[in-house]
Every structure is written in C-alpha cells, then in structure tokens.
Structure 1
Amino acid sequence: MGEKVEADGSGLSDRQKYRRKLQQCLTVLERLLAEERFDRPKNLMGLEIELNLAGSDGMPRMMNAEVLKRIASGDFQTELGMFNLEVNVAPHRLDGRVLDQLAEELRTGLGYAHRKATEVDAGIVMIGILPTLTRQDVVSANLSDVDRYTLLNQQMVAARGEDFTLDIDGVERLTCTSASITPEAACTSVQLHLQVTPDRFADVWNAAQCVASVQVALGANAPFLFGHELWRESRPPLFEQATDTRPPELKAQGVRPRTWFGERWIDSAYDLFEENLKYFPPLLPICDDEEPLAVLDGGRVPGLQELALHNGTVYRWNRPVYEVADGVPHLRVENRVLPAGPTVTDVIANAAFYYGLVRALAEDARPVWSRLSFAEAAANFDTACRHGIDAELRWPRPGRAAGITTVPVVKLVRDELLPLAAAGLDAWNVEPADRDFYLGVIEERCKRRVNGASWQVDTFHRALEAGLDREAALAATTRRYCELMHEGEPVHSWPAGEPRGAVGEGR
C-alpha cells in the first residue's frame, strides 16, 4: 500500500479512460513476456511484517504517527490502522547465511522500534490479530491519516453501498457490521516475496497455492476477534468480509470477492493479471502520465502504474507482482498467507519452510497440482484456517500410489514436506546448519502441536478458569504473549498458559 494518491478526488480519471489504460498495460505485459524482456534469475527474496501497537496493559494504542516519528527509519511505515506499522526488509539473495542474516536484522530493527515505541507506552506486537481489539477500535476515525487509505475506504464503501457485514462462525460466532473497511486493519501478516522468471512463475505460484493450507495450519496465530474465539486463523475470513464490496445480490450471482484464493491452476503470470482486469472493477481509477505502449515502442520499459495500482486492490493470498528495477522488469510471487509472529525465530522458520518447500514442489516432475484439484486446495485452506495445527488436509498419496488421502497436517509435514523443504533449501544453497535449525523449529511445532493460536487459546482459558472475566483474560493473555515474544524463544517452547500469577495484572 505504498502508492501516494490524493484523497480529494482531483486525481480521479474517467473510469472508461482508466479501463483503456489498464488494457494497454495488459497488452504491454503480454509483449514483454513474449519478447523475454524480464530480468535473469537472481534468487532474490524479500520480507514485510505488519505490526500492532499495544500498551503495557495489553490494549491497542492509536499512535502510529507518533511512533514513526520516534523510530525515524525508512524501514518502518504506516499501515491501514493507527494501531498498525509495517517493517520492510531489503531484498536478499536466497543463499548462504540468509536466514540468520534476516533474523539478526529483524531482531535489531524490531528491538530498536520497540524501545522507541515504549517511550509513549505503545510497544511493538507481532501477532495475527491483537486479542484486545474491540469493535470500537476499528472505526473510520482510526484509519491512518494517509490519502490512499482515505480514498480506498471511500471507494470501497461506495462500491458496497451499505455497511460491511462480518459473520464468522467458529468456536463462537461473531456477527456485526462496519461502516468502513477499518476492521481489515485487525489483520496483520507476514508477506514473503520471491522474484521468479516468467518461465518459472506458474510452477512457483501453483506450488505456493498448494502449500498455503500447510503454512496457515502451522503458523496460525489469530484465534480471537472482538472478544470472540473464532477460527484458529481468523484473518482470512475477516479480511475477505471486511473488503467485500459485493452486496448480497451480487454474491448470489456468483460475483467473485476481492479477497480471493482463486479458482484454477495457471499456465502463466499473465493469467492472473488478466483475471484481475476481467473480474474486478477498479477501485482507484487514477491514470498515470506514462503511455505504456509508446514507452515500449520507444525501446524503454514502462512501469505499468495502473496495472500495479489495480493489482494492489485484488487481495490474493499469493499475489503476482510486476515491478521495474534499474530499468529492467521482473516478476514476484508475494505470499500473503502467514500471520505475523509470534517471534522472529518463528517468522524465519516459517519463511525457511515456505521457500524450501516451494522450490522443491515447483521442480517436481509430478507436481502436486497435477494430482490435487484446485477445489481441494481451496478447501484445504479453509480447513487449515478453521482448525490450525489440528487440521486434516486432503493430499496426494506419496510415491507412485494414485489417489488423494486425508492426513493430519502434522503427519504430512513431518513425513513428507519437511524433507522436501530441506531439499529445496539445499537447492538454494542455504547454509545447512541454518536449514536444520529453522526447519527443526517447524518439526518441534508439529511434535508438540503448539503454535501461536493454540498457545493463546490455552492461556486464555486458563485465565478464565483462574477467575478472570473475558476482557481481563484476553488482556492477560496479550501481556504474557508480549513478554514471551520479546524473550524470543520459539512459540513451541513457551510455557503452557499461566493465569493470574504469571500473566498477572501487569508486565
């Protein structure tokens, strides 16, 4: 969400003109692909983490502007809600000691940011959804003061034509409405970028779609929303509903939601950009001065700004990205599946598992997506969000055996996917000691069946049993989570939920 736009409407172009520009961008993209103008393989990856701000009482703080002033670093920027920040890690080559390098950079950067934020009692929290958020926290007055967010909210509310409805039926059921898109800000995630060549893009994207369910099952860290215990990873249903511009009549007609798993395996990156134009009306119809066809005909590479802006308002869990760096275009797969946290070690372990597994699956002679239907992959994602580390997924039988079987995700990971992830990291030439350490974190999660969501739920219920009311139990859980998060040991090693004595009345 980095593009700068004006919120007063003066930059809005005629929608028909914008649609024509989008079609030009798509035509140019097709030519760039056909002419093989894209960057050579560089094995580059990138990382972004969305963060929450919470006080020593565990409650959200609407202070991102003040905190950013104190941090004073270009690595940190605003996100949708005033209780959000985002940290961006510079691209790295995916080889050697990259995993430990990323961990060290994150610990240093987040530690500094946390120290500055606590000067105004607004500490940094890496978590999928802050358990203490209330409906009163996610109102339009708490949108970050950024033109793009203001305009995006206006356009989505106008497209919807009525309040957004949240209806999530999990362990408990939450039903409410919102007059703005601000509830989306409750969802804080990790985005993993991987630069790929056009000829490898489809295989990498298809592989990422296959493993999305496994990622979210192992990494689930968002079991609470507005005081309700919902799905083990409640971000996806919340994000889909908080950005759903379809009134009930359009839903009934089968119109696709803007937050979308997809509906088919692909053959090219072009397929995804084409779908985005075909199925989703523009929300921010702002035309750039660049004429992409003229730029391309002149021997230069266009930025395709309209395509990039539109692409950013279609919320795929694995999003295609087109970008130009040093005059050369490249493609990336942006994996948006994982919640933030719980610790830096957990984040890097999740990243190691993803990058290794996607590499191995994308190069498999019998790819998973040739044996698993897209509908089954989508159903797996839903199941994983609901049940987290206890999920059972549909997966092709191992070896040369035909057919699909249902398998506990922890067994699938330990028996089949961890060895593949290790082989994939070897193919990236990642340091073996780092490979073993971070994949070992994933293995321990599976052995103990503990991740961020299961720990939060256990701690919350123990606090209730100790006599705390629901609001106090959620605050106590959040405070204890923050303590352990800053200690930095991976979540599978955290002591089982402790009520009043350890979780206590303060930090």
Structure 2
Amino acid sequence: MGEEVDAQEFTGADRTRHRVKVRRCLDVFARMLREAAFDTDDPMTGLEVELNLVDKVGDPALRNAEALEVIANPDFQTELGQFNIEMNSAPATLRGGGLTGFEEGLRRSLNEAERRTADVGAEIVMIGILPTLTDEHLSIDAISSNPRYRLLSEQVLAARGEDITIEIRGADLLRTTADSILPEAACTSTQFHVQTPPDRFAAYWNASQAIAGVQVALAANSPYLLGKQLWRETRIPLFEQATDTRSEELKAQGVRPRVWFGERWITSVFDLFEENVRYFPALLPVTDDEDPLTVLEAGGTPNLSELRLHNGTIYRWNRPVYDIAGGRPHLRVENRALAAGPTVADIVANAAFYFGLVRTLAESQRPLWSQMSFSAAEENFHVAARDGIEAEIYWPGVGRVRATELVLRRLLPMAYEGLAAWGVDRSEAEHYLAIIEGRCLTNTNGAEWFVRQMAEREDEERYDAIRSVLAVYRDGMHANVPVHRW
C-alpha cells in the first residue's frame, strides 16, 4: 500500500473524469485479455512480509522513516503506521531451490535490516498484530509521512461520514472507535504471489479462496489487540472493520465492504476488476494523461493506472494483480490471508503449503469449487480466524472436520503433488511441509503458543505479561526454530 500519491483535494469534476477513465481502462483490459500477449512463459512466485518496529522493551517504535533511511534497501518500503515497514522478496521460480532461496534471502535481509535499525532504537518483530499496541499508537499522529496514507484515511472517513467502530468479541470484548484508518496499521501480513496465464487465473483464484480457511487455521498469529485476548487471527475482523467505508445504514442496505472475501466463484479475472468498478466508488480518483487504447493500438502495454490504483483500495483476501515487467503485462493472484511470522521458516512453510496446494487444486479435473458453495468457503475463513488451529471447517466429501485432521489426511499429499508440479525437489518439499505437519500434530501455531504462554502469567498485569511473552517470542523468531518446537 506504499504507492506515492501527492496530497490533494478532489472535486466532483475529478471524480467524474476518473469514473470515465477507469471504465475506459476496464474496456481496454477486456480487449487485452482477448488479444494481448501476457507473460506466461515461466510463471514466477513472490513473497512480501509486513513488519513491526519495537523498542528495547517491546513497545511500538514510531521510527519507520529513520529505519528505512538506515536500511537503505529498496526492497524495504514504508507502510501505514510509523511502527510498520514492508519487505519484498525478488520474484522467483520454485524449481531449483526456490523455497530455500526465499528463506535464505529473507533471513539475510532481515538480519541486516535489524543490525542497522538498532542504531535508531528500533528492532523488528514479525507478528500479525503487535500485542503491545495501545490506543495512542492507533491515533492519526502515528500515521506514516507518505501523503497517500493521510489522504486515504480522509477519504475513508469522508465516505463513512462518522468515526470507525471496532468491536471484536473473543475471550475478552474489545469496543473502541477511531477517527482514522490507523487501526489497519495494526494488521501486518505475509503475502504470496503466484503468476498465472489469463485463462487459468480463475482456477487459481477460486482455489485460493477455497483454501483460505485452512491457511488461516494453520497459521493464525494475532490473538491480542490493545491488551485484549480476542480471535486467534484478530487481524481478520480488525482489517474488515478498520477500513469499512459503510455506515450502519449502508450495511443494512447490502452495500459491499471494501475488505471483502467476495460473493461468488469467478470464470475470469475480468469478473473481479469489473466488480471493483461496478460496486466501489473511487477513494483516490487520481487520473493521468495516458490513453490506454491509443497505447494498445500502437503496440504498447497500457499502464491502466486508474484501474490498478482503484484495485489497490479494495482489500480482497485474494486480490487480482495486473502488472508490467520488461514491457510485458502479466497477472498474479496475491494471497493476503496470513499474518506475518512467527519465524522465517514458518513463513516459507506457509508458502510451500499454499503454492503446492493451490497448484494441485487449480489444475484438478474436478474443481473443488464445483463441490462446495462460496458461502461455505467464506464461513470456513471466519471460523478459522476465530478459532485458529482448533477450528472445525467444512470440506466436500467429508463434512465438518478439524482443520488439522483434514491437512494431515488429505491436503498435505496434495501440497506435495503441487510442489512436484512446480519442479520443487522432494527433499526441499519435505523440509518445509514437515513444519506444517508438525503444527498439526502438536496443535500449535503462533497464536496458540502465545495464548498458552499468557495463561502461565495470568497473575501478572496484562501488559507486563504481554511484554514478557513477546520477549520470548522474539528470541524464538531470531533462532528461526519453527513455532511448534518452541
């Protein structure tokens, strides 16, 4: 979410002009899907991790500008909150040690970044929600300096017409309000990218939606927010509420939320971009001078800037991405369901499971999504976010089943099959998928570990206990030992 947008105000004429332009982009995109040569020769995968900055005792360090200055690496970028940064891994194929390459690259970059940020009093934590956050860290004063963020916050609040309400019930109850979108900054995620040909995009997106609940159950890592024990993956309801542009009346009218699981299986990537344009008004109606049709007819590749910027303000858990590399357009599924952390090894294990399983399901002769309703996939997603590794979910041919049992009996073999299809060596696949198996056998992921540790400190003041557990968590993170072995 770090694209630069200048500070500005938007008039009614700006919005009218933008609506015309974004629809023109959509028409050109439809033509490109029919006629253009998309880059499909050697599909790439990618990985991004959002990070938290803390001080010596584990409290948020509002120093991302200073941290990025000393890191001095374009792979690291700003994020919404001053206690956030994001790291991007270079795209890679999975064959020939791609997963190991992701792990080695992440560890090397993070270790060097941590060494440098220590000079400005900031240390790095990979976790879905930093549990030491307090209300003051989620005020507008903690927003990053990129004008886009303040502008986006203003537009969300203007569209909503009232403060944002956050209400999440878990073991504790959290009720609070916010006058900006800063609560969204509490949500730090891992994002996986998988490049697809246009004619296979729908299959990969549908498969990603179908397995999102299983992914979240296995990798939940956000059990605490503002001192409260809430959902095992509190990041999900928090993100859904923190950027909601709808008043209560608009919700009652059935207006779609901007953080959206979706409402149907798709037949083309065009379905998603068309929904974006049809259902959602622009939050950032910035219009450039490019005529995409002229560029296309001249043999060039249109940027489709308005369509892409608009897509970036609609937060699907599996987002379609149109991008350009080396002058050629390509499509990706961006899988955004998982929290950051706990370790680099855990993150790459999550990647191995996702890339392998989604490949097998997307290429299946009998698609999974033809056997289950979309609403069942959505319910799985929210049940998994609430219950984590204890979740029971629905699966075709099985009914309701513990997510861990489903993974052990059915999904791990599919993940191995998919990784083999990507060209991943069996020993490499075994190394990473053994971590997924270990979580299932021990019933332990990041969220479960944290809650158990807190239970042992129930007599301590809540934030003192949180800081104490976070210190142990950070030791495990640095050791890069998978969380189920802590």
* Shared fold (TM-score, shorter chain, > 0.5): yes
User: Are the counterparts in 2 of residues 7 and 147 from structure 1 also a CA contact under 8 Å?
Assistant: yes
Residue 143 of structure 1 corresponds to which residue in structure 2?
A: 143
**TM-score of the superposed pair, with normalisation by structure 2:** 0.98
- Cα deviation, 1:371-410, whole Å, max 9, x if unaligned, reads 010000000001000000000000011xxxxxx5111000
Q: Which amino acid aligns with 2:104?
A: E
Letter in 1 for 2:2: G
Q: Give the AA of the match of 1:382.
A: H
CA deviation vs aligned residue, 1:126-175 (integer Å, no higher than 9, x gap): 00001111111111110000011111111111111110000111121111
Q: Which range moves more in the overlay, 212-221 or 65-74?
A: 65-74
Shift of 1:453: 0.1
What's the offset of the Cα at 1:119?
A: 2.2
Q: SS in structure 2 opposite 1:338?
A: strand
My pick for the range that moved more, 93-102 or 346-355, is 93-102
Name the structure 1 match of 2:469: 477
Q: Is the 8 A contact 1:45 1:94 kept in 2?
A: yes
Q: Is the 8 A contact 1:43 1:94 kept in 2?
A: no
Task: Verify: 1:306 aligned to 2:323, yes or no.
Answer: no
Q: CA contact under 8 A between 1:133 and 1:226: conserved in structure 2?
A: yes
Deviation at 1:37, TM superposition (A): 2.4
Q: Deviations over 1:464-504 (max 9, x none)?
A: 2xx3111101111111111111111000000xxxxxxxxxx
In 2, distance between residues paired with 1:149 and 1:304?
22
Residue 354 of structure 2: aligned partner: 354
Amino acid aligned to 2:61? R
Partner Cα distance (2:36, 2:77) in 1: 35
1:433 positional shift: 1.1
State the alpha-carbon separation in 2 of the partners of residues 93 and 382 from structure 1. Answer: 31
Alignment partner of 1:463 out of 450, 457, 469: 457
**CA deviation after TM superposition for structure 1 residue 13, in Å:** 6.1
Match for residue 439 of structure 1?
Answer: 433
Aligned partner of 2:285 in structure 1 is: 285
Structure 1 unmatched ranges of 5 or more: 398-403, 495-507
Cα distance in 2 for partners of 1:394, 1:234 equals 21
Matches of 2:119 and 2:139 in 1, distance apart? 26
Counterpart of 2:251?
251
In structure 1, what is the equivalent of residue 18 of structure 2?
18
> 1: CA distance between counterparts of 2:485 and 2:125?
19
Provide, for residues 152-206 of structure 1, a one-character-per-residue CA deviation record: whole Å limited to 9, x for no partner. 1111111111100001111211111000000000000001011100011000000
Aligned equivalent of 1:415? 409
Normalising by structure 1, what TM-score? Answer: 0.94
- Counterpart CA distance in 2 for 1:478 and 1:322 is 38
| Residue in structure 1 matched with residue 399 of structure 2 by the alignment | 405
Q: For residues 41 and 467 of structure 2, what CA distance do their matches in structure 1 show? A: 47
Alignment correspondent of 2:62:
62
- Aligned to 1:463, the other structure's residue is in SS state coil
Secondary structure of the residue aligned to 2:92 is strand
> Please, which of 493, 497, 506 is the counterpart of residue 485 of structure 2?
493
Residue type at the aligned position of 1:231? W
- Matched ranges for 1:261-272 at <5 A: 261-272=261-272
Residue in structure 2 matched with residue 48 of structure 1 by the alignment: 48
CA distance in 1 between partners of 2:301 and 2:324 (Å): 8
C-alpha distance in structure 1 between counterparts of 2:469 and 2:3, whole Å: 36
What number of residue pairs does the alignment pair up?
Answer: 486
CA RMSD after TM alignment:
1.1
For 1:392-450, what per-residue CA distance to the aligned partner results, in whole angstroms no more than 9, with x for missing partners? 000011xxxxxx51110000000000000000000001121110000000000000000
- Using the alignment, how far apart are the partners of 1:487 and 1:48 within structure 2? 21
1:68-467 equivalences under 5 Å are 68-397=68-397, 405-464=399-458, 467=459
Q: Percent identity?
A: 55
Please, which runs of 5 or more residues in structure 2 have no aligned partner? none
